[in-house]
Amino acid sequence: MRPVDLSVSEAVRVPSGGATLDGDLVVPSDASGIVLFAHGSGSGRRSPRNRMVAEALHVAGLGTLLVDLLTAEEALADARGARNRFDIPLLAARLADAAAWLAGDERTAALPAGCFGASTGAAAALVAAAAAPDRFGAVVSRGGRPDLAGDHLEAVRTPVLLLVGGQDTQVLQLNREAAARLAGEHELVVIPGAGHLFEEPGALEQVSSLAAKWFLRRLPQTATRSER
């Protein structure tokens, strides 16, 4: 394991249509790829679970961009009505803009990109990957709702890893149904004894390890954006 100063992150602002999204960017000096995080279900870039996964990716030599897909005003309205978190087209469009920002920034332009999606963010990641397959070399879903990607599932060609807690029975069934519709490379891994939030001892560590391996094995096979 390489030493990484996990406290070093840069606040960035990502334009998306008429909105500006707040994000935290970490790029290790020898990064072999960059992973964009797609939060969901009322969460954001400060999610302790996603930050724990991000730290494990840093140690593995991967950069990360944790970005709020909703503006502060939208998040406030969502807290009252829980509508925006299920607006998959909006989240996917914001995610695509964040991926385009990574492709245009000098710190990350040469790095192959992956996406780590949680809950509804996983659906947004799959929709974005289906629409622009050259943007993402791999997708990982943690306790995600890939079923909400709907008919876009058949168009996903990006390798997809679905991670679901064994005790999260309803979401597990939805993931199994979604996996059956994925035409590209995919794998469904059940974390024994884990619930939806992976709060059980060792559960999130398993998620982090599996995610890092998935990205490391697939992102190097993706041509860098400077070659596209």
The verdict on residue 7 lying in a domain is: no
Phi, psi of 223 (to 5 degrees): -65, 145
Give the residue-averaged pLDDT of 167-177. Answer: 97
Contacts of 73 (CB under 8 A, 6+ apart): none
Q: Is 2 a member of any domain?
A: no
Whether 3 is covered by a domain: the verdict is no
In a domain, residue 153? The reply is yes
For residue 74, give the nearest of 21, 117, 127 by alpha carbon: 21
pLDDT score of 87: 86
Query: What is the structure's pLDDT at 147?
Result: 96
Residue with tokens 């249509």: 17
What's the number of domains the chain is made of? 1
Q: Is the pLDDT of residue 168 over 60?
A: yes
Predicted pLDDT at 166 = 97
Q: Considering the entire predicted model, what is its pTM?
A: 0.89
Long-range contacts of 7-13 (CB under 8 A, 24+ apart): 12/65, 12/67
Q: pLDDT value at position 42?
A: 58
pLDDT of residue 82: 53
Domain-embedded: residue 88:
yes
Q: What is the pLDDT of residues 64-119, one digit of tens each?
A: 999 999 887 877 765 565 555 668 999 999 999 999 999 999 999 999 999 999 99
Q: How would you class 17 by CB atoms within 10 Å of its CB: exposed for 0-12, middle for 13-18, buried for 19 or more?
A: exposed
In a domain? residue 169: yes
The predicted model gives 42-57 an average pLDDT of 83
> What is the percent of the chain where pLDDT is above 70?
86
In a domain, 113, yes or no: yes
Confirm whether 40 is domain-assigned: yes
Q: What is the pLDDT of residue 41?
A: 58
The domain containing residue 75 runs over which residues? 12-221
Region 17-35 average pLDDT: 93
Q: What pLDDT does 81 receive?
A: 52
Confidence bin at 24 (pLDDT 50/70/90) = very high
Enclosing H/E stretch for 204: helix 203-218
Report residue 9 CA to chain centroid gap.
Answer: 18
52: domain CATH number? 3.40.50.1820
